[in-house]
Amino acid sequence: MKQLIIIGAGGFGREMMAWARRSTAGWPVKGFLDDNLSALEGFGRSVPLLGRVGEYQPEADDVFTCAMGRVEFKRRCVEQILARGGVFPPFVHASAEVGDHVQLGAGVILCPHTVVTSDVRLGDYVTVNLHSTVAHDAVIGRWSQLHCHVDITGGVVLGEGVLVGSHASILPGVKVGDGAVIGAGSVVTRDVPAGATVFGVPARTLVKREAGND
């Protein structure tokens, strides 16, 4: 039987351990990888911290999920494991609702009570956190992170590495460029350029930087 290794032993990683008990795949958790070898001290977890990410050699029955919120850290850790032959299947909690004609890329995480409706594409290593919704015909680029209670409405397109803060809403048909940041609680009514940080109701640009300079 496959065994799940969680990359990242911080708060999100510990949440993922609890949610693994109700993942659709039912993999037992083998342990964590984290460059901070004391990350689990004081938390009383029953599974071990197996070592640093860059030092771990995947075994035949290992599958991986990366529970990190910062895109640049997540990308680096995933690429280290991929280079050694590691596999990142989608992780789908049993309470997640997934509709028809939904494409889930490698390493996608659908947390409890998420909804992905129909004709949606989620790129590799996208995270959809608690109680968030991705509506029909939306496209979410690889490495993007949706925090809790996010509302991605119909036909929205997010580029790569987009961060959407909790309780933000992106209205139908809006396009968000690579590396943009949507502030918590914002309502995005028009397109957002790559590298921009927007915030407010309606969302306005606070910062503009070059995409990819993580």
Which residues are known catalytic residues? 131
DSSP-derived 3-state class of residue 156: coil
DSSP calls for 52-112: -GGG----TTEEEEE--SSHHHHHHHHHHHHTTT-----EEBTT-EE-TT-EE-TT-EE-T
Answer for the pair 171, 198: CB distance below 8 angstroms, yes or no. no
Amino acid at 199: F
Kindly state the tokens that stand for 36.
Answer: 């901070």
